Amino acid sequence: MTTETASAALLAALVEEAAKKSGLVWVDGQALWHAWADGALCLVGGPGEQRLPPGVTDGGSVTVTARSKDKGGRLVTWPAGVALLAPGSASWSAATAELKSKRLNSPDGEGLAGRWARECRVFRLTAAGPPSEHPGAVPTASGAAAPVPTPATTRHPAPAALPRLLTRRRSQR
């Protein structure tokens, strides 16, 4: 096994482990809940479910970012190809079984998969290349967007007594 092949295998394992352990991933900058099934990231969207970004369409491509479970920071970012799963297919059944186990506060319990088949879309996101960001190759810039200008912005520092006032309120409870 060459060094390049070993490195690619380690990065693929990192993508899988990060996706399995993280409750959320960012797809084109939007936080989404997901499940990992059959070697791919699976998403569901539609009425009563999460809104998916515009790039999540059959044949589309997106950028997926997973966070570190222990530190909470960006761990790995990779390009992914998107495929729509046909309701009732073997891959759809495997994906929905995993998604059902991750779905919190479902309004329809056991009828969830039926509703997804009728009203929602289930997508499979597979890695479409090596990760662009991973440990050892993370940009130094924060990636945060500049705040939107607003008249509600505070331009003065917080009063020096504020920490004492907040501490006093907690101790009186």
| CATH number for position 24 | 2.30.110.10
How far is it, in rounded angstroms, from Cα 98 to Cα 151?
46
Decide which of 163 and 34 is more confident: 34
Number of domains in the chain: 1
Q: Quick one: which H or E segment has residue 36?
A: strand 35-37
Domain that holds residue 33: 3-135
Within a domain: residue 163? no
34 part of a folded domain: yes
Q: Give the pLDDT confidence score for residue 62 in this predicted structure.
A: 95
Q: For residue 64, with 0-12 CB atoms within 10 Å meaning exposed, 13-18 middle and 19 or more buried, which class applies?
A: buried
Which pTM does this prediction carry?
0.75
Joined together, the tokens standing for residue 6 give 């070993």
Write out pLDDT tens, residues 36-93. 998 899 999 999 899 999 999 999 999 999 888 777 777 889 999 999 999 999 999 9
Looking at the domain assignment, is residue 157 inside a domain?
no
Asked, for residue 152, whether it belongs to a domain, the answer is no
Between CA 85 and CA 71 the distance in angstroms is 33
Amino acid (one-letter) located at 161: A
Q: How far is CA 124 from the centre of its chain?
A: 13
**Please, where are the H alpha helices in 128-173?**
162-172
Query: Could you tell me if residue 162 is inside a domain?
Result: no
Give CA–CA dist 32/57, Å, rounded.
15
In a domain, 87, yes or no: yes
